[in-house]
Amino acid sequence: MSVAAPIYCPALFLTAPASNQGKTTITAALARYFSQRGKIVRVFKTGPDYLDPQILAQASGQPVEQLDMWMAGEEYCQNSLYEAAKNADLILVEGAMGMFDGEPSSADLAARFGIPLVIVMDVKGMAQTAAAIAHGLATYRDDVTVAGLIANRCGSERHAQLIRDALPENLPLLASLKRNEEISLPERHLGLVQAAEVKEELETRFNKAIQWLQDTQDTDLLTLPTAIAFYPVMLETEKTEPLLADKVIGIARDAAFSFIYDTNILALESLGARCVFFSPLKDKHLPEVDALWLPGGYPELHTRALSENQSMLIDIRVFHQANKPILAECGGLLYSLESLTDLTGQTFPMLGILEGQGAMRGKRGCQGMQTACLPQGEVRAHAHHRSRSENTPEPIGHGRRQRHSAPGEPIFQRKGLTASYLHLYFPSNLTAIAKIFSSAASIDR
């Protein structure tokens, strides 16, 4: 229930008919364009995603949050938008997949929060058909508002004119963006390359992207949209108690382990924990901590360095033998196994605090939304990996898939270790998270 007057802020929701239409590139370009003009731009990314938010945070100079009603809850999302609107001059939301894909979809989110949609479409190889697709998307449901079309990878002004003339009057062409490979964002096997690895290159691409936007013959995209109302909400979820008061949690963070939601760190801090960061790649020893979080990332790209850092491996093994809490997610799970075979086929010893071997498997992988069914409680999560683990022990349970009855990812617990391919979204169940990171999580199986 709303408890105060709304705050008004310009906002746009960038969506598309499918993936790989250029949403992230255009969202980043818009964020940099307006931030360079002194505007505070807050960007949200729908669904579970670690890589796009890194790019968007660098482009905007502001933190980027996930916006997903299934993972976080409707009220949590509403409150996040309201808090952003307090200081922002513009809110941008980047959708995932196609406009109506997923549960909830981009259209569902836009409809719920009243944010006008902008359709981003790669128009290479079509003209009037692009207008027909955009018109179909805009009229498919009557509870969404579509502000216009961005024609990406447009071949010429004549190409743009054909699309412009075919669009209905109430669906304008906001921008016609020329084909330009110099502004495309670098990718690898799980998606975009991490921003920290290509920071200077990204700056060059952002600067070129601003000129790319300004070269369009249609300039409506370069003016702030109409402000819309964002309403506060009294969160009725569990009251945050300092269940982790005086606990120090060590979080692995470096080029190998970086799939970390900022909201997860804030969740730990709201529970009273103090978070410190360390690098399994470069640091020789663990910091003095009460619990460990080994998040996902790209350990498969750093197998030799991880394996050769013997003093760190020994410290974590001793920590585990002391029955202290460890949460290992996806890449952290691979690090916890006895060995990991990388993309080149080379195998290296890892921590060995969980039986089994990990190996990369090329382009085939697993992804999707799941609920982690833990003894400590259910936590919303997702999976996204292109590896396999073999000869692992009997799991204590499996994730529950959002839209399929088959068992999800296996979940393991040994002493204080909780390990799975699942990436947990901490705010979905703070009590369960507190138990995982406290002595209550220690289960000797």
Decide: helix, strand or coil at residue 371: strand
Q: Which amino acid is at 217?
A: Q
Retrieve residue 16's tokens: 């598309």
154 noted as active-site residue: no
Cα separation, 95 vs 45, whole angstroms: 6
Phi first, then psi: give them for residue 138, nearest 5 degrees. Answer: -70, -25
Cα separation, 320 vs 350, whole angstroms: 14
Q: What is the DSSP string of 112-150?
A: HHTPPEEEEEE-TT-SHHHHHHHHHHHHS-TT--EEEEE
Cα separation, 2 vs 5, whole angstroms: 8
Give ∠ CA 385-17-13 in degrees, rounded to 5: 90
- Asked if 32 contacts 60 with a C-beta cutoff of 8 angstroms, the reply is yes
Alpha-carbon distance values, 343 to 2, 258, 280, 298, 364 (Å): 51, 19, 20, 11, 13
Stretch (H or E) spanning 435: helix 430-436
- Residue tagged active-site, from 77, 330, 366, 373: 330
Cβ neighbours around 220 below 10 Å, total? 14
* Cβ contacts of 315-323, under 8 Å, gap ≥ 24: 315/285, 315/286, 316/280, 316/286, 316/292, 316/351, 316/353, 317/351, 317/352, 317/353, 319/286, 319/292, 320/351, 320/353, 320/414, 320/415, 320/416, 320/417, 321/415, 323/415, 323/416, 323/442, 323/444
State the catalytic residues.
330
